[in-house]
Amino acid sequence: MTDVVALPRGGLWLETPIGALQLGAPPDTLKDTLTRKDGVPRVVVLPPRLVDVRRGVANADLEFPIYWNLFVKKRPLIVVGTPEQGQAIRTAVQESLLGPPVQDLRDDVASGHHVPDLLREMGWFRRGNYRRDGLLSLDDALLFVPATPGRPARIEDDGHVLQVALERDEVVVTVDDAEHARLPRDPPLRTTTNIGMAVVGAAAPAGVPFSPPRFGVTVLGRSHGFDPDPRERTTGFVLWVGGRGVMVDPPVHSTQLLKDSDIDAGLVDSLILTHVHGDHDAGTLQKALEAGRITLFTAPTIYASWLRKWSALSGIPEEELRRLFDFHPVQIGRPIDVGGAKLLFRFTLHSIPTLAFEAHYEGASFNYSGDTLNDPQVVDQMYRAGCMDFERREELSHFDWSHDLVFHESGVPPLHTPVAILDALGEDTKSRLRVLHVSPSRLADYKGLVVAEPGREATIEIPVNAAPELRVLRRLALLGRTRLFARLPLARAAELLASARDLRIPAGERFIKVGDLGDVLYVVTGGKAAILRDGVELKRYGLGDYLGETAVFLRRPRTADVVAVTDLDLLVVDGAVARRVCDGTDIPAMVERHAQVRDMGAWSLLESTDHFAGMTSTQKNALETLLVPFDLGPGSRLVAPGTAAERVALLQHGRVLLDGPEHDDAATTTFAREHSIVGDVGALLAGRPQPAGGVVVAGRARGFFLHRHELAQFLDDNPGVRVRVEPWTANEETTPEHGMARMVTEHVTGVGAPVVGGD
């Protein structure tokens, strides 16, 4: 039996006579295998789930192991899994390696603007010594070997026979008919950034809330998929506009990266997806599931490609994936408004459809190259070879370097811009340029080129001519996202804002004391606050959460102490104004019900219930306002089996018997577990009959009802919670060449990098 290594980022690894074998491939595990001699897997065995749909993280991120085997070793990556997984993997690799096989860009380009022939451009990058007319195909990159019960996958290579049997609980690997290793069928697949390694730029000063610039950029990651440095992240950043963030190509675990930098993730409510290569789209699904509804900006062709790829991997139908986003299609040649900035998009020169953009805001501008080959000589070669027309050649040959800040990628051709192109720029241009998609060590010998620095302390502020109404608009946007005031008519919201004032509380100060008679309401605009009772912390509040509403609307003493965990920025609203503005609305009644729900311990109940654990404070606050308390005696029915219900019950305490066909025929009685949902949420939302019911059988049962329409609206607003409550996947298993080699091998730098050579 051979030694089995648990990789730091997840998955299991072992040596075999034909090369390394890896079970499971979460994002960035290439960092773990690059530091081993011949460590990049020759064979990848797929785990039962290709995507952890609760967290939006791929368990089978094969793109960079494919590149390594294809362009360095001149062979396909061997992948073992079920036949159903084989089709899913082929669909996903098609989108990320070769791009959409058919492209109709009429929806991607505004009327009257030039339409590039991306298929012909992409064909240029597929040329090489390949079997099918010299063009790269899926079969050159991927060799899928199916395994079924009783029939292991059989791989013959280098004079050996390797067999992989997928048993119910184990993966059995044999070499030349001798058992080589036994692995768990479902390997450890880490889903957080906590892997015992520092992240460049993640540190933040304690107790200081992040105040985003009116216009600027915070880099989350600056490197690429082949960087073995465990501290570096793939390229992604936040573009700040008017104090709100738009995340561009979110790296995996981007929400955790924001948290590590003490940047409130609630500030970032939009995404720009430039393309579907794995080092650019890996965190998109995860970001959508970890927050409320996200606005997504990308081209229709790229969005459709992302949907096909991630639907295939996750088993989530495309129509369900669409529900995660408010999709705003971008068109080449038509500016769009994002938070008051004008963004203008364009297609780059890359192996699959890819976007770049420039942003203009209050007299300042920013230009992002996206992944691109910005080399006028190669562009001219492609033009002479018939891969593009004259207008496209002119567009690609004249990059606009005149902006206040330019982010430009670099790497090894043919997919990326040579460093020499950037090194030839003038000093003034270099002073406004930051280089991305590159290992910092690659720029060490180039004078004047500066690699982008990640982290909140390296945030770049682009000076603007601030509009006087900016603060009012930011306050109005914040109130619109605060559930307490979200449905106020605009005129009433304006009156509320007119009386509001800003207040900063230093870290550690208690600014609300239990028992006090306060008559002001607070909305958190930055930092964190802790809610304490008898010295015990109950919860924490952040951006968009509100405090003091019970005292203001119900005229009761303060029910808890509130302490600033960090320096805390607040919007302070006078109680008399709040009552007058909200008079005649349902807000006072909602506050009264919310206070009752809180007094019954709903917060801790939500935190200990599997479906709702891990929600943000804003989400828990919103859900609390929907809960209807119950306190029922013996014989009271919570849910009736066989009928379409209008509600389910969240059981806090009590003895509730589960009944219905499934339970009536059972040999033993089944009782609902406290802190669980009584009723089938999927059936509730679909209007189907409940498969089981629940009735109180002894003493009293206490808890909360959740009604169908309110729960459905909450889940639509918070798609990440929907995954926990109503899982999508029903099945465990879901249904030029030399330059490429240089790109891969030259990207790999640092101590411990593998020696590249022939087989």
pLDDT at 602: 92
pLDDT average, residue stretch 718-727: 76
Residue 468: pLDDT band by 50, 70, 90 thresholds? low
Judge whether residue 263 has pLDDT over 70. yes
- Percentage, residues of the chain above pLDDT 90: 62
CB 183 within 8 A of CB 4: yes
CB 649 within 8 A of CB 694: yes
pLDDT in tens, 193-206: 443 344 566 555 55
pTM, entire model = 0.84
Judge whether residue 755 has pLDDT over 60. no
Judge whether residue 6 has pLDDT over 80. yes
Judge whether residue 236 has pLDDT over 80. yes
Residue 256: pLDDT band by 50, 70, 90 thresholds? confident
Judge whether residue 754 has pLDDT over 80. no
Range with the largest mean pLDDT of 44-58, 196-210, 387-401: 387-401
Judge whether residue 544 has pLDDT over 90. no
Residue 720: pLDDT band by 50, 70, 90 thresholds? confident
pLDDT at 444: 86
pLDDT at 667: 67
Tokens 């030029």 identify what position?
736
CB 572 within 8 A of CB 503: yes
pLDDT in tens, 266-286: 889 899 999 999 999 999 998
Q: Where are any strands of DSSP class E within 249-372?
A: 268-272, 294-298, 325-329, 336-338, 341-347, 355-361, 364-368
- Percentage, residues of the chain above pLDDT 70: 91
What's the token pair of residue 24? 């499971």
pLDDT in tens, 29-40: 999 999 888 899
pLDDT average, residue stretch 705-713: 93
Judge whether residue 730 has pLDDT over 60. no
Q: What angle do CA 655, 657, 658 make, to 5 degrees?
A: 140
Judge whether residue 634 has pLDDT over 60. yes
Judge whether residue 330 has pLDDT over 80. yes
Judge whether residue 363 has pLDDT over 80. yes
Average of per-residue pLDDT values in the chain: 88
CB 565 within 8 A of CB 531: no
pLDDT at 736: 46
Q: Where are any strands of DSSP class E within 580-646?
A: 628-632, 637-639
Judge whether residue 92 has pLDDT over 90. yes
SS3 readout for 676-693: EEECCHHHHHHCCECCCE
575: how many CB neighbours lie within 10 A of its CB? 17
Judge whether residue 539 has pLDDT over 60. yes
In angstroms, the CA 743 to CA 739 distance is 6
Q: Which residues share a beta bridge with 367?
A: 358, 406
Residue 295: pLDDT band by 50, 70, 90 thresholds? very high
β-sheet with 142-146: strand ranges across? 5-6, 12-14, 21-23, 43-45, 77-81, 142-146
In angstroms, the CA 455 to CA 219 distance is 6
Residue 62: pLDDT band by 50, 70, 90 thresholds? very high
